[in-house]
Amino acid sequence: MPALDPAFLAVQALSGLSSASSLFITACGLTIVFGVTRIVNFAHGSLYMIGAYTAATLVPRLLELSFGPVTFWAGILISAIIVGLIGVIIEVLLLRRIYGAPELFQLLATFGVVLVVQDLVVQVFGPQDILGPRAPGLRAPVEILGRRFPSYELVLIAAGPIVLGLVWLLLRKTRFGVLVRAATQDRDMVASLGVNQALLFTGTLFLGAFLAGLGGALQIPRVSANTGMDLSIIAEAFVVTVVGGMGSVPGAFLAALIIGQLQAFGILIFPKSTLVVVFLLMAVVLAIRPYGFFGRAEIGGGTHAVGIASRSPLPGRGLILLIVIAVLAAFPLVADAYLLKVATEILIFALFAFSLQLLIGVGGIVSFGHAAFFGLGAYGAALAVKWYGVSMEAALPLGLALAALGAGLAGAFVVRLSGIYLAMMTLAAAQILYAVAFQWVEVTGGDNGIVGVWPSSWASGPIPYYLLTAALTLITVLLLKRIIDAPFGYALRAARDSEARAEAIGLKVRQHRWLAFMIAGAAAGLAGGIYAFSRGSVDPSLLGISTSVDALTMLLLGGIQTVVGPLVGAAALHGLRDWIMPLTSLWRLLLGLSIIAMVLIFPRGLVGTVRDWWGARA
Amino acid sequence: MATTSTIRWLAFGAALALGAPAAQAQQAPIKIGELNSYAQWAAFTVPYRNGWQMALDEINAKGGVLGRKIEIVSRDDGATTGSATRVADELVSREGVSLLFGSFLSNVGVAMADYANQKKIVYIAAEPLTDAVTMAQGNRYTFRIRPNNFMQVGMLVDQAKASGAKRWAIVAPNYEYGQSAAAVFKRLIQERVPGAQIVAEQYPALGKIEAGATASAIEQAKPDGIFNVLFGPDLTQFVREGNTRGLFEDTTVLSLLTGEPEWLLPLKDEVPEGWTVTGYPWDEIKEPKHKAFIDAYRAKYNDTPRLGSLLGYMVMTMIGDSIERAGSTETDAIIKALEDAKFDTVIGPVTMRGIDNQATMGAWVGKLVLKGAAGGMTDWTYQDGASFMPTEAEVKAVRKD
């Protein structure tokens, strides 16, 4: 086997080391920020991207003024400092206001920043990818065991340990470092001792953003700055921080080393499945060590859970239900084909968001990868059509079953975790499935997806398909509602509000959560299956992060404390998207800003706000 | 927000009230739907939009077609199959467009072809190059102007014969376009170059290449020829890593599309000289009609043309001609007007072959060379597509219609 050639192995290992180094620099910032602020900053990848764009634009201009290594490295440093300052702006404007908010809101708010930055970067730097200049003096390769190796990569390999050393010095030998470590240990105690928290947090964000910017800027000689950088690095940086243990810098270093080598050699063994290896590693590590290599359990179990409260049933529920059924059934009489299509999609998303409500609102299980089950349902149905030629009637239950099965499998690992590790595990599950759908081309069609998934003839056409969707959605939502109001639902709520007390009175918390996970997964799978037939095709984006975020946004928009919130949220978000998206190319900017505004201004959502207002009047 | 929308509705109402008589006097424009990956693949699609916009302005300045102006409703297709068919559905059922054209990625093209077949509306694939669009997944509603993978790879393989290279490595993005090009290459190199073998294959995910590891994995197989299908950011990174490691020295490299300015310009002065490529040497084109287009484009947009510019311009003019000849905007009439039609385009006559709805547009084949601070093409020839198309028997064997 030629792969055993020692020179080749050496070069491959060095490539792995240099990727590891770059990854560590970025992930190190993420983990420091998390340690102090307890916020998982989705926007960290965006800061990395801004660093790359800034350096790729700035450094060539500087090199024109005076060509030389000093200028190049000064340019890299300036870019990183600029990004650090952007980090400060984000802290002051946004993060400062949500330190006390539930994790879910924090994740969503920082994801809002991701969306805003995606559009802003295109506006500021233009749509083209920008290839940065090579580092002066490092253009020529070096010979290693008779093979050429880029000398810049050697510099990168050195950069990782240098940054590790500097960060270690900063954390161990300065007052700022002492405070950062103290805040990582116990934030409230640091505050009680009279430390200026605002300054400490702003400083931490500067450091984190600086490192993200540095990581991005260092990439410009090897990678062109492009608009996809943010999500691809953030996914890897999450893996590094989670595997290493959230908040642990040495953990991040070790994890980055492992991942770098895994990628370098993985390409030889599985040239087509490079994406899946990384997330599999994360899942395996979390399954064995729930807090990563060097992470600790979160102290005090200070639960951030928010969710639906118990209310006495509304008078006249039966009548309301009848009206809803009548309105849904009569809608085709007034709507044209396109409006029916939109209504069908709204119903599907409503079911999808409602199934997530069972997990988050009722169970307090903040899933950041609910798209996994939506996608499994869609793929299950589409694969059944493609490979076995079954009809829609058989394909929908098969999709549902696959989603329930997937949820059972993922849930078995997920329910052992809590808090942010749990959210990351669900994200990992979704990303693994995404990678499988994306790279297992023979079965799933890869990026091509599967086309030709059309409904049976009796259900094709906008009106019958709308009615079918409405019926299935309504029945499932009522079933789920029944489950929420049953003792099972109350047990989930008890576990959400106080896990320790729930266990003390004999509730089997894990089993309950596991079952909830499967039910929610199955319902999401049904939604996914219906969606596949409404579009005629499936593709990996159904499993992607943005699909998960869509569901969360609907939940947040409608109001997380209410049962009907997700239904209203789905209608509002999808309706707005359909209305605004054709009018503007800045849809992501608008969406991102609205998510941030919702988190900051009315975190209770549409339904919650209306109800409060109603309650105040009464 | 509320005020804006109120004002908009008021304005809309006023426009309806005042504009109604005027609208009756002049016929409503012909609506055509266009969708492409403007956000994700701006390097190609923005010049392409400039191209069709220019042709559209020319058509409408002459009074449009069938006495009506043409209106293009343009949308971003989101660069995924599901998003593109959703956008297409909006264009067809809400905007009521007469036909669709556009899209960039091949997988999106295949999904659009399926959509066109299902909804019985004409779709003209702009950039998707996979053979599937006109072969296995082809249907009577789907047409393509550009030479497909089979044709372009055929042109390159003809050039490969002279090089004497026998040990070939393939590097291609792992999605429809890359898979299709790699499959055609494997078939053609073994048919046309006796003794050729494939010694390495690398399929990085589109936009996610690990360039260093990919380059050294290819180097490890010691090929004397490399067939490259990468483009965009993947290509830039691969070329830089390959240059550094000396991967391309003493190696014959065949590369699809790399001579197109959209992919060549980002390489700046690191252009891998000597690669045999398909592309667009616009700076050396002398034919008066084509030259006139290039000059007009440069004057209008103050930018050099890309291949996308030419393609956008050609697609739009061919659509205008077809509707004029069809005499109506009915789908069946447009299909009749397209099938086996001859078009007089800026690059010369092009025929739309009726059996597979593939046009005979060709490609420029030549070698990469550094011209000043950026790359260009040299020793190039224009290869007419007609002589590289799949035979009618081959088409009949794979098409389902």
pLDDT tens-digit series, residues A14-28 = 888 998 999 999 999
User: Quick check: helix, strand or coil at residue A18?
Assistant: helix
* Res B16: pLDDT: 47
Contact A541 B80 (CB under 8 A): yes
Of B39, B80, B213, the CB nearest to A264: B213
Q: Which residues of A touch B139 (CB under 8 A)?
A: none
Q: Nearest-CA distance from B266 to chain A in Å?
A: 7
Of B43, B111, B205, the CB nearest to A274: B205
* Res A298: pLDDT: 63
pLDDT-derived band at B1, boundaries 50, 70, 90? very low
Q: Nearest-CA distance from B42 to chain A in Å?
A: 6
Share of chain A above pLDDT 90, in %: 39
Q: Which two tokens stand for residue B171?
A: 């590097």
* Res B298: pLDDT: 96
Q: Which residues of A touch B240 (CB under 8 A)?
A: 131, 134, 221-222
A464 pLDDT higher than 50 = yes
Q: Which residue out of A17, A122, A124, A537 would a mutagenesis test of the B interface target, given it has the greatest number of B Cβ atoms within 10 Å?
A: A537
Q: Which two tokens stand for residue A461?
A: 């056409």
Contact A537 B83 (CB under 8 A): no
3-state helix, strand, coil in chain A (%, to 5): 75, 0, 20
**Residue B256 · residue B156 · CB < 8 Å:** yes
| Sequence-separated (6 or more) residues with CB below 8 Å from residue A87 | A47, A205, A206, A208, A209, A210, A212, A213
Q: Is residue A3 less than 8 Å (CB to CB) from chain B?
A: yes
pLDDT tens-digit series, residues B110-149 = 999 999 998 899 999 988 999 999 999 899 999 999 999 9
pLDDT-derived band at B26, boundaries 50, 70, 90? low
- Between A263-267, B375-379, B387-391, the lowest mean confidence (pLDDT) is in A263-267
User: If you measure CA to CA, which chain B residue comes closest to A123?
Assistant: B39
Give domain B31-148+287-361's CATH number out of 3.40.50.2300, 3.10.450.350, 3.20.20.210, 3.30.420.40. Answer: 3.40.50.2300
B23 pLDDT higher than 50 = no
Q: Which residues of A touch B236 (CB under 8 A)?
A: 129, 131, 224
Of B106, B114, B213, the CB nearest to A452: B114
Contact A15 B212 (CB under 8 A): yes
Average pLDDT over residues B370-389: 92
**Residue A196 · residue A179 · CB < 8 Å:** no
Q: Is residue A448 less than 8 Å (CB to CB) from chain B?
A: yes
* Res A301: pLDDT: 44
Contact B93 A226 (CB under 8 A): no
| Sequence-separated (6 or more) residues with CB below 8 Å from residue B314 | B51, B55, B145, B345, B346, B347, B350, B361
Q: Nearest-CA distance from B246 to chain A in Å?
A: 7
User: If you measure CA to CA, which chain B residue comes closest to A147?
Assistant: B245
* Res B21: pLDDT: 45
* Res B8: pLDDT: 55
pLDDT tens-digit series, residues A473-522 = 999 999 999 999 899 999 998 988 888 899 899 999 899 999 999 999 99
Share of chain A above pLDDT 70, in %: 96
- Between A30-39, A95-104, A269-278, the lowest mean confidence (pLDDT) is in A269-278
A77 pLDDT higher than 60 = yes
pLDDT tens-digit series, residues A226-258 = 888 888 888 889 889 989 988 889 999 999 999
Half-sphere exposure of B383 (CA within 13 A, CB side): 24
* Res A235: pLDDT: 85
* Res A209: pLDDT: 96
Domain edges within chain A: 2-297, 320-558+565-617
Q: Is residue A447 less than 8 Å (CB to CB) from chain B?
A: yes
Please tell me the distance from the alpha carbon of residue A182 to that of residue A201, in angstroms, as a whole number. 12
pLDDT-derived band at B19, boundaries 50, 70, 90? very low
* Res B174: pLDDT: 87
Average pLDDT over residues B337-348: 93
Q: Which residue out of A259, A448, A577 would a mutagenesis test of the B interface target, given it has the greatest number of B Cβ atoms within 10 Å?
A: A448
Q: Which residue out of B49, B137, B167, B174 would a mutagenesis test of the A interface target, given it has the greatest number of A Cβ atoms within 10 Å?
A: B174
pLDDT tens-digit series, residues B265-307 = 888 888 999 999 999 999 999 999 999 999 999 999 999 999 9
Domain edges within chain B: 31-148+287-361, 150-282+363-388
Please tell me the distance from the alpha carbon of residue B15 to that of residue B9, in angstroms, as a whole number. 10
Contact B75 A582 (CB under 8 A): yes
Q: Nearest-CA distance from B114 to chain A in Å?
A: 7
Q: Is residue A263 less than 8 Å (CB to CB) from chain B?
A: yes
Q: Which two tokens stand for residue A124?
A: 């500021």
Q: Which residues of B touch A461 (CB under 8 A)?
A: none
A144/B332: higher pLDDT: B332
Return the CATH fold of B150-282+363-388. Answer: Rossmann fold (3.40.50)
Average pLDDT over residues A389-415: 93
Contact residues, A window 227-256, toward B, CB-based 8 Å cutoff: 227-228, 232
Average pLDDT over residues A457-478: 92
* Res B178: pLDDT: 94
Per CATH, B31-148+287-361 and B150-282+363-388 having the same topology is answered: yes
Averaged pLDDT of chain B = 89
Q: Other C-beta atoms within 10 Å of A175: how many?
A: 8
Of B213, B217, B233, the CB nearest to A226: B233
A296 pLDDT higher than 90 = no
Averaged pLDDT of chain A = 87
Please tell me the distance from the alpha carbon of residue A148 to that of residue A8, in angstroms, as a whole number. 10
Q: Which residues of A touch B105 (CB under 8 A)?
A: 447
ipTM of the complex: 0.79
Q: Is residue A226 less than 8 Å (CB to CB) from chain B?
A: yes
Phi/psi region, residue B206 (left: phi>0; alpha: psi -120 to 50; beta: rest), is beta
Q: Which residues of A touch B233 (CB under 8 A)?
A: 129, 223-224, 226, 228
Please tell me the distance from the alpha carbon of residue A365 to that of residue A515, in angstroms, as a whole number. 12
A85/A185: higher pLDDT: A85
| Sequence-separated (6 or more) residues with CB below 8 Å from residue A149 | A11, A14, A141, A142, A143, B245
* Res B399: pLDDT: 86
A96/A530: higher pLDDT: A530
User: Quick check: helix, strand or coil at residue B383?
Assistant: strand
**Residue A333 · residue A505 · CB < 8 Å:** no
Of A3, A150, A338, the CB nearest to B244: A150
Of A129, A274, A451, the CB nearest to B233: A129
Distances (CA, A) of B36 to A77, A450, A618, B45, B180: 38, 20, 53, 7, 21
Contact B39 A19 (CB under 8 A): no
pLDDT-derived band at A300, boundaries 50, 70, 90? very low
**Residue B282 · residue B51 · CB < 8 Å:** no
Q: Which two tokens stand for residue A111?
A: 């994801």
**Among A377, A383, A420, CA closest to A400:** A377
Please tell me the distance from the alpha carbon of residue A239 to that of residue A256, in angstroms, as a whole number. 9
pLDDT tens-digit series, residues B152-172 = 999 999 888 888 899 999 999
Q: Which residues of B touch A16 (CB under 8 A)?
A: 213
Average pLDDT over residues A363-376: 92
Distance of CA A92 to the CA centre of its chain: 23
pLDDT tens-digit series, residues A184-227 = 777 788 888 888 888 888 999 999 999 999 999 999 988 888 88
Q: Which residues of B touch A440 (CB under 8 A)?
A: none
pLDDT-derived band at A445, boundaries 50, 70, 90? confident
Q: Is residue A147 less than 8 Å (CB to CB) from chain B?
A: yes
CATH class of A320-558+565-617: mainly alpha
Contact residues, A window 325-344, toward B, CB-based 8 Å cutoff: 336-338, 341
Contact B114 A451 (CB under 8 A): yes
pLDDT tens-digit series, residues A264-280 = 887 777 766 667 888 88
Residue with tokens 């209305």: A579
- Between A119-123, A141-145, A248-252, the lowest mean confidence (pLDDT) is in A141-145
pLDDT-derived band at A411, boundaries 50, 70, 90? very high
pLDDT tens-digit series, residues B52-81 = 999 999 999 999 999 999 999 999 888 888
Buried (b) or exposed (e) across A554-575, using 16+ Cβ within 10 A? bbbbbbbbbbbbbbbbbbbbbe
Contact residues, A window 75-114, toward B, CB-based 8 Å cutoff: none
Please tell me the distance from the alpha carbon of residue A572 to that of residue A558, in angstroms, as a whole number. 8
